[in-house]
Amino acid sequence: MSVITCIEDLRVLAEKRVPRMFYDYADAGSWTESTYRANEADFQGIKFRQRVAVNMDNRSTATTMLGERVAMPVAIAPTGLTGMQHADGEMLAARAAKQFGIPFTLSTMSICSIEDVSEATGGHPFWFQLYVMKDKDFMRNLIDRAKAANCSALVVTLDLQVLGQRHKDLKNGLSTPPKPTIANLINLATKPRWCLGMLGTSRRTFRNIVGHAKSVSDMSSLASWTAEQFDPALSWADIEEIKKLWGGKIILKGIMDKEDARLAVESGADAIVVSNHGGRQLDGAPSSITALPAIVDAVGNDIEVHMDGGIRSGQDVLKAWALGARSAWIGRAFLYGLGAMGEAGVTKALKIIHNELDVSMAFCGHTDINKVDRGILLPGTYPVA
> Does 51 count as an annotated binding residue?
no
**257 phi, psi to nearest 5 deg:** -135, 140
CA angle 375, 377, 383 (to 5 degrees): 110
> Does 107 count as an annotated binding residue?
yes
> Does 226 count as an annotated binding residue?
no
- In sequence order, the 6+-apart residues with CB closer than 8 A to the CB of 268 are 240, 243, 250
> Does 125 count as an annotated binding residue?
no
> Does 275 count as an annotated binding residue?
yes
> Does 121 count as an annotated binding residue?
no
> Does 129 count as an annotated binding residue?
yes
User: Which among 86, 167, 212, 277 is annotated as catalytic?
Assistant: 277
Element (H, E) at 271: strand 271-274
CA angle 178, 82, 63 (to 5 degrees): 170
Q: Is 277 assigned a catalytic role?
A: yes
Residue 9: how many other CB atoms lie within 10 Å: 17
Residue 146 CB-half CA count within 13 A: 29
> Does 79 count as an annotated binding residue?
yes
With CA atoms as reference, report the closest residue to 21 among 147, 162, 183.
183
Q: Measured between alpha carbons, how far is 328 from 351 in angstroms, rounded to an integer?
A: 15
> Does 98 count as an annotated binding residue?
no
> Does 308 count as an annotated binding residue?
yes
Q: Measured between alpha carbons, how far is 290 from 295 in angstroms, rounded to an integer?
A: 10
> Does 312 count as an annotated binding residue?
yes
> Does 157 count as an annotated binding residue?
yes
> Does 326 count as an annotated binding residue?
no
Where does 182-313 have alpha helices with state H? 182-188, 192-199, 219-229, 236-246, 258-266, 288-299
* Residue 350 CA: distances (Å) to CA of 188, 226, 250, 337, 346: 28, 32, 25, 9, 6
Burial code (b: 16+ CB inside 10 Å, e: under 16) for 29-46 equals bbbebbbbebbbebbeeb
> Does 192 count as an annotated binding residue?
no
> Does 190 count as an annotated binding residue?
no
With CA atoms as reference, report the closest residue to 169 among 232, 282, 81.
81
Binding site for FMN, residues?
78-80, 107, 129, 157, 253, 275, 308-312, 331-332
Q: Any idea which residues carry the catalytic annotation?
A: 277
Binding site, residues?
25, 78-80, 107, 129, 131, 157, 166, 253, 275, 277, 280, 308-312, 331-332
Binding site for glyoxylate, residues?
25, 131, 166, 277, 280
